[in-house]
Structure 1
Amino acid sequence: MKKGRVRKASTERLGVVGILILNAAPDRARVAELLAEYDGIIVGQAELPCSERNMTLICVSIKVTTNVLGAFTGKLGLVDGVKVKSMLL
Protein backbone atom coordinates (compact mmCIF):
# COMPACT_ATOMS: atom_id res chain seq x y z
CA MET A 1 0.00 0.00 0.00
CA LYS A 2 1.31 3.46 -0.83
CA LYS A 3 2.36 5.77 1.96
CA GLY A 4 -0.49 8.00 3.16
CA ARG A 5 -3.23 5.62 1.97
CA VAL A 6 -4.27 3.99 5.19
CA ARG A 7 -7.72 2.42 5.06
CA LYS A 8 -9.78 2.03 8.22
CA ALA A 9 -11.47 -1.33 8.83
CA SER A 10 -14.85 0.38 9.24
CA THR A 11 -14.74 2.01 5.79
CA GLU A 12 -17.41 0.69 3.42
CA ARG A 13 -16.10 -0.50 0.09
CA LEU A 14 -17.68 -1.68 -3.14
CA GLY A 15 -17.28 -5.29 -4.11
CA VAL A 16 -18.66 -8.40 -5.74
CA VAL A 17 -19.62 -11.78 -4.30
CA GLY A 18 -19.94 -14.78 -6.60
CA ILE A 19 -22.11 -17.60 -5.26
CA LEU A 20 -22.05 -20.92 -7.11
CA ILE A 21 -24.89 -23.27 -6.15
CA LEU A 22 -25.14 -26.87 -7.25
CA ASN A 23 -28.78 -27.44 -8.21
CA ALA A 24 -28.82 -30.57 -6.06
CA ALA A 25 -27.75 -28.53 -2.99
CA PRO A 26 -29.97 -29.59 -0.06
CA ASP A 27 -29.83 -26.18 1.63
CA ARG A 28 -30.50 -24.02 -1.44
CA ALA A 29 -33.21 -22.11 0.45
CA ARG A 30 -30.61 -21.10 3.07
CA VAL A 31 -28.83 -18.99 0.43
CA ALA A 32 -32.04 -17.03 -0.18
CA GLU A 33 -32.44 -16.54 3.58
CA LEU A 34 -28.89 -15.16 3.89
CA LEU A 35 -29.40 -12.82 0.93
CA ALA A 36 -32.55 -11.49 2.63
CA GLU A 37 -30.75 -11.19 5.97
CA TYR A 38 -27.94 -9.14 4.40
CA ASP A 39 -30.10 -7.09 2.01
CA GLY A 40 -28.81 -3.86 3.57
CA ILE A 41 -25.37 -4.34 1.97
CA ILE A 42 -26.62 -5.51 -1.43
CA VAL A 43 -26.58 -2.95 -4.23
CA GLY A 44 -27.77 -5.37 -6.93
CA GLN A 45 -27.80 -9.01 -7.87
CA ALA A 46 -28.23 -11.28 -10.89
CA GLU A 47 -28.98 -14.99 -11.00
CA LEU A 48 -27.62 -16.97 -13.94
CA PRO A 49 -28.79 -20.59 -14.31
CA CYS A 50 -26.29 -22.91 -16.01
CA SER A 51 -28.47 -25.91 -16.88
CA GLU A 52 -25.75 -27.68 -18.90
CA ARG A 53 -23.58 -27.81 -15.76
CA ASN A 54 -26.49 -28.33 -13.33
CA MET A 55 -25.66 -25.23 -11.26
CA THR A 56 -26.66 -21.61 -10.69
CA LEU A 57 -24.38 -18.58 -10.36
CA ILE A 58 -25.55 -15.60 -8.33
CA CYS A 59 -23.54 -12.39 -8.74
CA VAL A 60 -24.07 -9.88 -5.94
CA SER A 61 -22.80 -6.28 -5.95
CA ILE A 62 -22.20 -5.04 -2.41
CA LYS A 63 -21.21 -1.98 -0.39
CA VAL A 64 -19.79 -3.30 2.86
CA THR A 65 -17.05 -3.23 5.51
CA THR A 66 -14.53 -6.07 5.56
CA ASN A 67 -15.93 -7.39 8.85
CA VAL A 68 -19.49 -7.68 7.55
CA LEU A 69 -18.25 -9.19 4.28
CA GLY A 70 -16.41 -11.87 6.26
CA ALA A 71 -19.53 -12.71 8.24
CA PHE A 72 -21.70 -12.85 5.10
CA THR A 73 -19.36 -14.99 3.01
CA GLY A 74 -18.51 -17.18 5.99
CA LYS A 75 -22.17 -18.07 6.52
CA LEU A 76 -22.64 -18.70 2.79
CA GLY A 77 -19.58 -20.95 2.72
CA LEU A 78 -21.07 -23.20 5.40
CA VAL A 79 -24.06 -24.09 3.20
CA ASP A 80 -23.77 -27.56 1.60
CA GLY A 81 -23.36 -27.45 -2.19
CA VAL A 82 -22.36 -23.75 -2.24
CA LYS A 83 -19.03 -22.16 -3.18
CA VAL A 84 -18.31 -18.47 -2.59
CA LYS A 85 -15.68 -16.02 -3.87
CA SER A 86 -15.54 -12.31 -3.09
CA MET A 87 -13.58 -9.26 -4.18
CA LEU A 88 -13.49 -5.74 -2.75
CA LEU A 89 -12.41 -2.65 -4.68
Structure 2
Amino acid sequence: MSENRVAAVSIVVEKKESTEKLNAVLHEFGEYIIGRMGIPYKPKGISVLSVVLDAPTEIVNALTGKLGMLDGVSAKTLFSKY
Protein backbone atom coordinates (compact mmCIF):
# COMPACT_ATOMS: atom_id res chain seq x y z
CA MET A 1 0.00 0.00 0.00
CA SER A 2 1.08 3.54 -0.67
CA GLU A 3 1.88 6.24 1.83
CA ASN A 4 -1.02 8.02 3.54
CA ARG A 5 -2.29 11.32 2.17
CA VAL A 6 -4.88 13.75 3.45
CA ALA A 7 -7.95 13.90 1.21
CA ALA A 8 -11.28 15.71 1.26
CA VAL A 9 -14.27 13.90 -0.20
CA SER A 10 -17.28 16.02 -1.16
CA ILE A 11 -20.56 14.12 -1.25
CA VAL A 12 -23.97 15.20 -2.52
CA VAL A 13 -26.95 13.07 -1.51
CA GLU A 14 -30.00 13.59 -3.72
CA LYS A 15 -31.98 10.55 -2.50
CA LYS A 16 -32.59 10.47 1.23
CA GLU A 17 -33.24 6.71 1.02
CA SER A 18 -29.50 6.18 0.40
CA THR A 19 -28.48 7.75 3.72
CA GLU A 20 -28.36 4.48 5.66
CA LYS A 21 -26.13 2.82 3.05
CA LEU A 22 -23.95 5.94 2.89
CA ASN A 23 -23.41 5.87 6.64
CA ALA A 24 -22.59 2.15 6.48
CA VAL A 25 -19.88 2.81 3.87
CA LEU A 26 -18.43 5.67 5.92
CA HIS A 27 -18.43 3.43 9.00
CA GLU A 28 -16.51 0.80 7.03
CA PHE A 29 -13.73 3.37 6.43
CA GLY A 30 -14.01 4.95 9.88
CA GLU A 31 -10.44 4.23 10.94
CA TYR A 32 -9.21 6.64 8.23
CA ILE A 33 -11.72 9.46 8.80
CA ILE A 34 -10.36 12.56 10.53
CA GLY A 35 -13.73 14.32 10.54
CA ARG A 36 -16.98 14.81 8.71
CA MET A 37 -19.58 17.50 8.35
CA GLY A 38 -23.04 17.18 6.85
CA ILE A 39 -25.34 20.00 5.82
CA PRO A 40 -28.96 19.33 4.88
CA TYR A 41 -30.26 21.78 2.29
CA LYS A 42 -34.02 21.51 2.66
CA PRO A 43 -35.04 23.92 -0.14
CA LYS A 44 -33.49 21.52 -2.68
CA GLY A 45 -34.13 18.32 -0.72
CA ILE A 46 -30.44 17.34 -0.71
CA SER A 47 -27.58 16.96 1.76
CA VAL A 48 -23.97 17.96 1.24
CA LEU A 49 -21.21 16.21 3.20
CA SER A 50 -17.52 16.81 3.54
CA VAL A 51 -15.35 13.96 4.80
CA VAL A 52 -11.63 14.39 5.52
CA LEU A 53 -9.40 11.32 5.57
CA ASP A 54 -5.78 10.40 6.24
CA ALA A 55 -5.36 7.23 4.20
CA PRO A 56 -3.51 5.56 1.33
CA THR A 57 -4.71 6.70 -2.10
CA GLU A 58 -6.13 3.25 -2.81
CA ILE A 59 -8.34 3.40 0.28
CA VAL A 60 -9.65 6.87 -0.58
CA ASN A 61 -10.39 5.75 -4.14
CA ALA A 62 -12.18 2.65 -2.84
CA LEU A 63 -14.34 4.81 -0.57
CA THR A 64 -15.18 7.25 -3.35
CA GLY A 65 -16.01 4.37 -5.71
CA LYS A 66 -18.36 2.73 -3.22
CA LEU A 67 -20.10 6.02 -2.53
CA GLY A 68 -20.51 6.71 -6.25
CA MET A 69 -22.26 3.36 -6.70
CA LEU A 70 -25.04 4.34 -4.29
CA ASP A 71 -28.26 5.49 -5.92
CA GLY A 72 -28.60 9.28 -5.74
CA VAL A 73 -25.10 9.83 -4.30
CA SER A 74 -22.26 11.70 -6.03
CA ALA A 75 -18.71 11.91 -4.65
CA LYS A 76 -15.53 13.70 -5.70
CA THR A 77 -12.11 13.73 -4.04
CA LEU A 78 -9.40 16.33 -3.61
CA PHE A 79 -5.96 15.07 -2.47
CA SER A 80 -3.27 17.01 -0.64
CA LYS A 81 0.31 16.78 -1.87
CA TYR A 82 1.30 15.09 1.39
Normalising by structure 2, report the TM-score: 0.91
**What percent of counterpart residues are identical?**
26
Alignment of 1:70-85 (within 5 A): 70-85=61-76
Structure showing greater Rg: 1
**8 Å contact kept, 2:35–2:51:** yes
Q: What amino acid sits opposite 1:47 in the alignment?
A: G
In the alignment, what sits opposite 2:53?
62
SS of match in other structure, 1:79:
coil
Deviation sequence 1:40-83 (CA, Å, 0-9, x none): 11000001011111100110011011111111110000000000
The question of 1:21 aligning with 2:13 is answered yes
Q: What amino acid sits opposite 1:67 in the alignment?
A: E
TM superposition shift of 1:28: 2.1
The question of 1:45 aligning with 2:42 is answered no
In the alignment, what sits opposite 1:5?
none
Calculate the aligned-residue CA RMSD, in Å. 1.2
Deviation sequence 1:4-50 (CA, Å, 0-9, x none): xxxxx61101110011001x343221000001110011000001011
Aligned length: 80
Distance in 2 (alpha carbons) for counterparts of 1:15 and 1:78: 19
SS of match in other structure, 1:27:
helix
Distance in 1 (alpha carbons) for counterparts of 2:10 and 2:65: 13
Of Structure 1 and Structure 2, which has the larger fraction of its residues in strand? Answer: 2
